[in-house]
Structure formats: C-alpha cells, structure tokens
C-alpha cells in the first residue's frame, strides 16, 4: 500500500500519536503500508515554510525507500521562490503541498497561480489540502473554512498540465469539486476524510473512476484504519482496489 497523504510533526491543538518518523513507520508496518507521501504538519502554522521543510528533509532522508517528502510552499510569504529553489536543489523536491486556506490565499488568485506556475515548470505533483479536519471542531480562535470547491476546480482547469491531488476533502467536498470540473484528467482525490456515506468508495469509483481515487490516511490527525477499512470492505473489483491502495499513487508520484 502507498499512503498518498500523511504528515510528520505536531499539531498545536492536541497531543497525537505517530508524529515522529519512527512512530509513523511503526504504524505503517503494522498496517502493511510500504510507502507514504509525507509533509510537515507544523508547516500548516509556521510562517517560515523553509524551516519546516528543512526539518522534514532531515527526518525522511534516512528512509527514502519509505517516505516521499511533499514540501509545503506558501506563495504569500516573502522569499518563497528562493526557498522553493532550496527545496529543489538541496532536498530534491518532487511534490508540492499547498494549504490555501491556512495560508490565506485563493488557489485561483495570482499568488496561487504563481505557485502552480512553479509546479508546472518543475513538473511537480501538487497536493492541495482543502480541509485538514472537521471545521466544527476547530479551536475557537482558529476557525478556518475549507478551500472552496470552485477555487480548486478553476485551478485544476487553468493548469490542465499539472497533476493535482486533493487531500483531506470529505465526500461532499469531493463531489462538489468534481461537479465543477469539466474534464478533470489531471485531478485525483485521496479518501482519508471521506468516512461516509455508506457505499462511499463505490460511489467515488463510479463518479470519478477508480483511476482517480487514492488511499490516504491524513496521519497523524486521523486513524489510518478508517481509510484502510473503507477500501478493504468496498464492493469493488480487485483491480480497482489495487489501483486505489497502490497503483494510482505509484503513477501519480512516480514511485514505480
């Protein structure tokens, strides 16, 4: 299995398990997850993304067979382009993570477009985290709405040659994003926060096609068993299941 959406690091609002490389690897081993695409969880809140990215690189470089780092870029912060160059030249960056809502820009704005232009220029896969956890439970001082589905659709359409993975979206958000995209050949989704309704994975496969659905855990914020069991118990073919748990991610991230 390949986990298309995981994180390393701490979260300001509660204690979590599996925040370190060793703990995350232990959990992956227990569940049969061979590889994970990981980002810095702290970078959701750090102003200086480079510090989180540098830490992430240090954490994963001893486990290149297990972790593929997705470095986070905030195109609203001064010097982001120089920091991006460091991520490329020193860390070998291949995957870009964006948090448009927490970093306070619209994905279809000039700033969002600048980040996506860079992704296009360097042939990155782009992970857009649209909602990292249930907005009803946010800290009262940090209430962050999900990224609007229209924004995602506009960016996906405008950058049709960039490969997008929407991460941590729930079922209704995925459905809304899909409905706004005419021909989303460059758009995939991971299922960590889908968690319903009943028959969710089957419905996503029917709507999006199994080629566009990826296993993801959103570790350490969620328990990975939720997505794992959802895929395992879905009434889909063995071929579709293999695509979701491994094949699609291998293709999207060049892990084959």
Partner 1 sequence: MIIDVHVHTRLGPDPAGFQYLLDQAAELDVTLCVNSLSPKDGSGMAQSPDLDEVRRCNDWTAELAAAHPERIIPMWYLNPAHGDAACRELEERVAAYSGHQGVKLWVAVRCNDPLLDPIMRICAKHKLPVLQHTWFKVTGNLPGESTPMDLRELALRHPDVSFFWGHSGGDYEYGAKCARGLPNVYMDLGGGEAMNGYVDLLVEHETADHIVFGSDAPGRSLVSQLAKVYGADISRKEKEKILFRNAQALFAQQNLANGAAS
> Footprint of partner 1 on this chain (CB under 8 A)?
14-18, 133-140, 143, 193-200, 219-230, 232-233
Cα separation, 130 vs 118, whole angstroms: 20
Question: Angle CA(132)–CA(63)–CA(224) in degrees, nearest 5?
Answer: 35
Cα separation, 163 vs 253, whole angstroms: 9
In whole angstroms, the minimum distance from the beta carbon of 41 to partner 1 comes to 11
In whole angstroms, the minimum distance from the beta carbon of 151 to partner 1 comes to 20
Q: Look at strands 125-129 and 187-190 and give their pairing.
A: unpaired
249 is written with which tokens? 């991610």
Nearer to partner 1, 7 or 49 (CB): 7
Q: Is the dihedral of CA 220, 221, 226, 231 positive or negative?
A: negative
DSSP 148-176: PHHHHHHHHHHTTTSEEEEES--HHHHHH
In whole angstroms, the minimum distance from the beta carbon of 194 to partner 1 comes to 8
Could you tell me the CA-to-CA distances from 30 to 5, 12, 33, 248 in Å, in that order?
17, 26, 8, 22
Nearer to partner 1, 6 or 155 (CB): 6
Nearer to partner 1, 49 or 217 (CB): 217
16 is written with which tokens? 């979590």
Nearer to partner 1, 115 or 194 (CB): 194
In whole angstroms, the minimum distance from the beta carbon of 143 to partner 1 comes to 6
In whole angstroms, the minimum distance from the beta carbon of 235 to partner 1 comes to 8
Nearer to partner 1, 98 or 230 (CB): 230
């Amino acid at each position: 299995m390949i986990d298309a959406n995981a994180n390393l690091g701490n979260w300001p609002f509660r204690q979590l398990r599996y925040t370190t490389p060793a703990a995350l690897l232990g959990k992956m081993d227990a569940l049969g997850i061979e590889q994970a695409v990981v980002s810095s969880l702290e970078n959701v809140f750090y102003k200086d993304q480079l510090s989180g990215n540098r830490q992430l690189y240090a954490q994963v470089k001893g486990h290149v067979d297990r972790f593929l780092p997705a470095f986070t870029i905030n195109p609203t912060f001064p010097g982001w382009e120089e920091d991006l160059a460091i991520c490329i030249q020193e860390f070998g960056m291949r995957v870009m993570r964006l948090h448009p809502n927490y970093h306070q820009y619209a994905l279809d704005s000039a700033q969002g477009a600048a980040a996506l232009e860079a992704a296009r220029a360097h042939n990155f896969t782009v992970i857009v985290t649209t909602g990292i956890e249930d907005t009803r439970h946010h800290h009262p001082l940090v209430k962050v709405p999900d990224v609007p589905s229209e924004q995602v659709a506009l960016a996906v359409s405008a950058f049709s040659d960039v490969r997008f993975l929407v991460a941590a979206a729930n079922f209704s958000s995925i459905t809304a994003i899909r409905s706004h995209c005419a021909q989303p050949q460059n758009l995939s989704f991971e299922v960590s926060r889908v968690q319903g309704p009943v028959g969710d994975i089957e419905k996503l496969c029917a709507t999006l096609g199994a080629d566009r659905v990826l296993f993801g855990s959103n570790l350490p914020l969620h328990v990975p068993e939720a997505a794992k069991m959802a895929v395992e118990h879905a009434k889909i073919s063995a071929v579709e299941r293999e695509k979701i748990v491994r094949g699609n991610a291998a293709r999207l991230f060049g892990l084959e």
